[in-house]
Amino acid sequence: MALISSTSPHTTVSNNTGAFMRQVIYATLPGLAVLTWQFGWGTVINVLWAVVVALVSEALILKARGRPVAFYLKDYSAVLTAVLLALALPPTSPWWLTLIGVGFAIIVAKQLYGGLGMNPFNPAMVGYVLLLISFPVAMTQWIAPGEAPSLAQSWQLFTGQLPVDGLSGATPLDTFRTWAGNDSELASHGILDGQFAGLGWEWVNLAFLLGGLYLISRKIITWHIPAGFLGGLALPALIAWLINPVRFSDPVFQIFSGGAMLGAFFIATDPVSAATSRSGRLIYAALIGVLIWVIRSFGGYPDAVAFSVLLLNLCAPFIDYYTQPRTYGHNKANRGTNSAKQGGGS
């Protein structure tokens, strides 16, 4: 038998990137379940459809790029992108919305940049923002919590046979944003009055939190990004709420509303487009959190996870340059780029 000739180390973890991705996908299941419980089968249908779209577009683009299709499909990164994007889409969204969003995310935001590991932006969020800007009406129609449509209704919504209007209702974030500062109106909207946060959404976020904690326990992600994210969101919210509780929502409401937990544990933690050192990740995530609070409180959109993540994706390389850890045997960490002439490239 020919002896294997390879360099050290000769043993590695049995883990692989595909397993990594699969773990993340598994961790989204509690959130998916709650979403289905609260808003019907739309999300499940979306997820399945998105996965199909992602696999097909990934295969096509890999073929076009002359890469081994099966090898790259096995890394589950396209599936994960599809799942995350589908989870963020309204359960009422028709098939073409998902198709456009996922197709754009995989083909443009990921593969045209060089494929897995090379994309500067989170592909799912690029797809999401594309849809949000292009189809704002379709993207902001959510089903009122507790009024989940039947499977048949969901399918009809998906195929576009059933108009959305009859089923849709405002989300807690939307409601608060509309009536912020008006105490009596805020009090009259039951959707804001869940067990501890917005009605329905509190459970969705709690489920994603559980999934996220599972990821941390499996060492798929570290605590830095979720902690930074939630801290960055909750701290300014707390301060503002203490100052003016009518104008600003409380921090618990903030972190258990909208895409907060999904963003904190599943979106911002995408390692490819995040900062890479530990302190860098803290800074990166905290800034995302702050930005979300700013946009939610003062911006034109009720939620802002996608925008904030994309904006901080831009900053990640820069943050990396300034957050290198102190190497063993060095008095202090290297900071910034090593020379001015190299400032632009990397």
Partner 1 sequence: MIRTLFSSRSRKVYDFHGGIHPPERKALSNGTAIVPGPMPAQLILPLNMHIGAPAKPLVEPGERVLKGQMIAEPSGAVSAAIHAPTSGTVSAIGPRAIQHPSGMDAICIVIDTDGKDEWIEHAGVADYTERSPGELVDTIRHSGIAGMGGAGFPTSIKVNLGDHQRVEELVINAVECEPYITADDRLMRERADEIIAGINILQYLLNPRRTLIGIEDNKPEAISIIKRACKGCDIDVRVVPTKYPSGGEKQLIQLLTGKEVKSGQLPAQVGVVCQNVGTAYAIKRAVIDGEPLLSRVTTLTGEGVSQPGNMEVLLGTPVRDLLLHGGVDPDNIGRLVMGGPMMGFTLHNPAVPVVKTTNCIIAATLEELPEPPPEQPCIRCGSCADVCPANLLPQQLYWHAKNDDLEKAQHHNLMDCIECGACAYVCPSHIPLVQYYRYAKAEVRQQAAEQVKADKARQRFEARQARIEAEKAEKEARRQARLEANRKKKVETSAPSVDTVALKQASLEASKAYKAAVKAAKAAEAEGAANINELKAEVDRLKAEADKAKAAVRDAKDAGPAAAPTEDRVGNLKKQVGEASTAYKAAVKAAKAAEENGDDNAADLRAKADELKASADKLKAELRDAKASAPATTAAAPQADPMADLKKQVGDASSAYKAAVKAAKEAEENGADNAAELRSQADELKAKADQLKADLRDAKANAPATPTPAPAAAPADPLAELKKKVGEVSSAYKAAVKAAKEADENGADNAAELRAEADRLKAEADHWKAELREAKASAPAPATPKTPPAPTDTPKAPETEAPQALKAVDPEVAAKRQKRLKALKTAYNMAHKQYKEAHAALERGERNGDIPAEELNAMERKVDKLKGKADVARDALDALVEEAKADIRAHTGKDLKTLKLEAARAESALADKQRELEQQRDNASEVNLEALSSELQALEAEAQIARMALKQAVEEQGLQD
Residues that bind partner 1 (CB under 8 A): 1, 3-13, 15-17, 19-20, 71, 75, 77, 115-118, 219, 222, 271-272, 274, 276-278, 281, 320, 324-330, 334, 337-339, 342, 345-346
Q: How far is the CB of 345 from partner 1 (least distance, A)?
A: 8
Structure tokens that stand for 342 in this block: 């190299």
The SS3 assignment for 297 reads: helix
Distance CA 24, CA 48 (A): 16
The SS3 assignment for 74 reads: coil
Q: Which residue has the tokens 């991705």?
A: 21
Phi-psi region of 40 (alpha: psi -120 to 50; beta: other; left: phi over 0): left
The SS3 assignment for 337 reads: coil
Q: How far is the CB of 329 from partner 1 (least distance, A)?
A: 4
Q: How far is the CB of 224 from partner 1 (least distance, A)?
A: 9
Q: How far is the CB of 282 from partner 1 (least distance, A)?
A: 13
Q: Which is nearer to partner 1, 65 or 247 (CB)?
A: 65
Q: Which residue has the tokens 């009024």?
A: 147
Structure tokens that stand for 80 in this block: 């994960």
Q: Which is nearer to partner 1, 271 or 299 (CB)?
A: 271
Q: Which is nearer to partner 1, 17 or 182 (CB)?
A: 17
Q: Which is nearer to partner 1, 133 or 219 (CB)?
A: 219
Task: Count each helix (H run) and each strand (E run) in the chain, helices first.
Answer: 17, 2
Helices (H), 74-199: 77-88, 95-103, 123-134, 136-139, 151-159, 172-179, 183-188
Distance CA 177, CA 58 (A): 38
Number of residues in the chain: 346
Distance CA 139, CA 203 (A): 21
Please check whether residue 153 is in contact with residue 162, taking contact to mean a CB–CB distance below 8 angstroms.
yes
Q: How far is the CB of 71 from partner 1 (least distance, A)?
A: 7
Structure tokens that stand for 336 in this block: 């910034």
Q: Where are the beta strands (DSSP E) in the chain?
A: 142-143, 168-169
Q: How far is the CB of 54 from partner 1 (least distance, A)?
A: 17
Q: How far is the CB of 139 from partner 1 (least distance, A)?
A: 28
Please check whether residue 116 is in contact with residue 62, taking contact to mean a CB–CB distance below 8 angstroms.
no
Q: Which is nearer to partner 1, 188 or 338 (CB)?
A: 338
Q: How far is the CB of 289 from partner 1 (least distance, A)?
A: 20
Q: How far is the CB of 238 from partner 1 (least distance, A)?
A: 29
Q: Which residues contact 3 (CB under 8 A, 6 or more apart)?
A: none
Beta partners for residue 140, in sequence order: none
Q: For 122, phi and psi rounded to 5 degrees?
A: -65, 115
Q: Which is nearer to partner 1, 109 or 272 (CB)?
A: 272
Q: Which is nearer to partner 1, 63 or 330 (CB)?
A: 330
Q: Which is nearer to partner 1, 247 or 326 (CB)?
A: 326
Q: Which is nearer to partner 1, 12 or 184 (CB)?
A: 12
